[in-house]
Amino acid sequence: MEYDRFTHYPLSELDNILNWWNTNKEYVVYKHPDYIDIAFRPVDDPKTPALLFLKNTDWVIIKIYEASLLHPDEVDSLKNQYAEILQKREEARQKINELEELIEEIENGTKN
């Protein structure tokens, strides 16, 4: 899946960027502590919101994995801390899989 644009911007630039961009274009903004991600995306792919959510929460997985290597005793605490994000990631993956199966069925002519 290709995005029209997916870029990190400093938080201080948020208003300028959104004012500059054509307001008819659909976009999603994810705020992080030090920057924002703005994804200008095609609106015709129903998987895009779930894919963007996974992309923007990959840092949680990396943080937990890193802890498993360097500080194994902190892993359970991190899993509890980020439980809601982890649950939503699982739901996003399930939604993507369901949509991909449906698209495949439609493309193969096996879905009426």
Q: Is 94 exposed, middle or buried (0-12, 13-18, 19+ CB in 10 A)?
A: exposed
Per-residue pLDDT of the chain (112 residues; tens, 9 = 90+): 344 444 555 555 555 555 544 444 555 666 666 666 666 555 556 787 888 889 889 999 999 999 999 999 999 999 999 999 999 999 999 999 998 888 787 777 775 5
Does the pTM surpass 0.85? The reply is no
pLDDT at 20: 47
Question: DSSP assignment, residue 74?
Answer: G
Length of the chain: 112
The ranges assigned to domains in the chain are 1-43, 45-112
CA–CA gap between residue 92 and residue 86 (Å, rounded): 10
Residue 33: CB partners within 8 Å, gap ≥ 6?
none
Token duo for residue 3: 């995005």
